[in-house]
Structure 1
Amino acid sequence: MNSTSTLIDGILYVTLSGDLIGSPDTQQLLQLVSSYLEEAVTSCAVDLSDIRYINSTGIGVLVSLLTKFRSRGGEMVLINPADHPRKLLALTKLNNIFTIAADQAAARQQLALAAS
């Protein structure tokens, strides 16, 4: 899994690609997000459009990230999950827990609503 991150207007945007299956990369992702949380960033959008495959460990990483943001009064939005992640989120009923946005603009809107 590869990841890139940018901070725009107080929102952390994380773009993931490849397979989200719980490798050392996921630990780096969790550490990266924790460092932003220490800087009082409480809004995050995770782009899953380039994730080909996700397993239970990958789902656990997403739940962990969501928990980290919500425990600090923030929110996390998933952007445009690819076919496999979308099906797995539906199968596990986590699509009822996560906010899913079609694109970055919709994610920004959802996060603004959550913050107000």
Structure 2
Amino acid sequence: MKYQTELKDDILFIRLEGDLISGTDTQSLVDEMDGQKPPATLLCAVDLSNVRYMDSGGMGVLVSLLTRFRNRGGELVLIKPSDHIRKLLIVTKLNAIFTIAENDNFAAQFLKESIY
């Protein structure tokens, strides 16, 4: 899995590509979020549009990121997961805790409204 981060309008966009599975790549992503120094970003959008496959470790990473952002008073939203990823979220009932946006604009709008 590869990822890129971009801070735009106080929102951290994380763009994932490939397979979201347990491993050093996913751990480095979590470590990078833990290593943010104050003032830490409160809002995060994770773009899943280029994720082909996700295992239980990948789901754990998403839950871990959501927990980290909510614990600091922020919010996280998922952007455009594939049909396969959406089905996994439904089967695991994680669709009840994650907000899903269809694009960057909807994600940004939701995130801005969530803290104001």
Whether 1:22 aligns to 2:25 is no
Can you list the C-alpha shifts for 1:19-78, whole angstroms capped at 9, x where unaligned? 001110001100122233643211000000000000111000000000000011000000
1:76 counterpart letter in structure 2? L
3-state SS of paired residue (1:36): coil
Cα distance in 1 between the residues matched to 2:104 and 2:86: 17
Q: Could you report, residue by residue, the CA deviation over 1:66-110 in whole angstroms, capped at 9, with x for unpaired residues?
A: 000001100000000012211100111111100100000000011
* 1:1-116 alignment, distance < 5 Å: 1-36=1-36, 38-116=38-116
Aligned equivalents of 2:91, 2:80: Cα separation in 1 = 17
Unaligned runs of 5+ in 1: none
Aligned length: 116
Distance 1:38 1:68 in 2: 14
Deviates more, 1:57-66 or 1:30-39: 30-39
What is the letter of the counterpart of residue 27 of structure 2? Q
Percentage identity across paired residues of the two chains: 53
| Cα distance change, pair 61–22 in 1 and its aligned pair in 2 (3 A) | same
Say which SS state the counterpart of residue 35 (structure 2) adopts. Answer: helix
TM superposition score normalised by structure 1: 0.95
TM-score by length of 2: 0.95
Change (3 A) 1:20 1:103: same
Quickly say closer, same or farther: Cα 1:39–1:28, change in 2 above 3 A. farther
Distance 1:14 1:62 in 2: 11
